[in-house]
Amino acid sequence: MQLIPSKTPKVIKQLFPNYIWDLSANGKKKLYLTFDDGPIPSITEFVLEQLNQYNAKATFFCIGDNIQKHPKIFNQILSEKHAIGNHTMNHLKAWKNNLDTYIKNTLDCQSVIQEHSSDRNTQQLFRPPYGQISRTKFNELEKLGYKIILWDVLSKDWVQDILPKKCTQNVIQNTEQGSIIVFHDSQKASKNLTLALPEVLDYFTKQGFVFDAIKL
């Protein structure tokens, strides 16, 4: 994963145009923060606190098993008007699981999302763990009504041998209007996340940007 660029090359977006890499800002200074792998105690709550300070909205791609373990935090995400996406039930790798297993795991996560969100979550956003997806899995997910959300910018907050300053630079140097940006509200990423996220929020807010949740 360290070899994946912080900025998704245009050629990759052109090769895979059916995936959502960024969103049209229609001339507005709007950005889309996303957080993968939660909800996790303390860490997701830290993220929500930071977002509140800047009146920022975001999209959380949640693991179904974590929703079941921490429903109160999941409910807090919803109550604070952030968007929710599906990140599978158990963070499955698409390239190591067959179609039936992968789709079932995704649907299991969706059931948990709906169980805990009632009618407050009508979107079907999906981000494949590790960014791994295949044509057959994409086709099946599309038939089921999912929008596949990838990214324009990676903070690389999960990488253990880089400093938080580098995560901040990854975002600030590569972000533009309409960028979808990836952070992780996970234990593994917490060291970098807790220092980089406040700096990113502060920098772009001062530049006149608004952070919004993904709405398709």
Catalytic residues: 36, 184
Taking the alpha carbons at both ends of the chain, their separation in whole angstroms is 28
- And the tokens for 35? 């957080």
Report the alpha-carbon angle 49-53-55, nearest 5.
110
Exposure b/e, 35-46, CB count within 10 A at least 16 = b: bbbbbbeebbbb
- And the tokens for 38? 């939660």
Alpha carbons 114 and 23: distance in angstroms, whole number: 25
How are beta strands 30-36 and 58-62 bridged, if at all? parallel
- And the tokens for 67? 């929703």
Q: Which residues pair with 61 in a beta bridge?
A: 36, 85
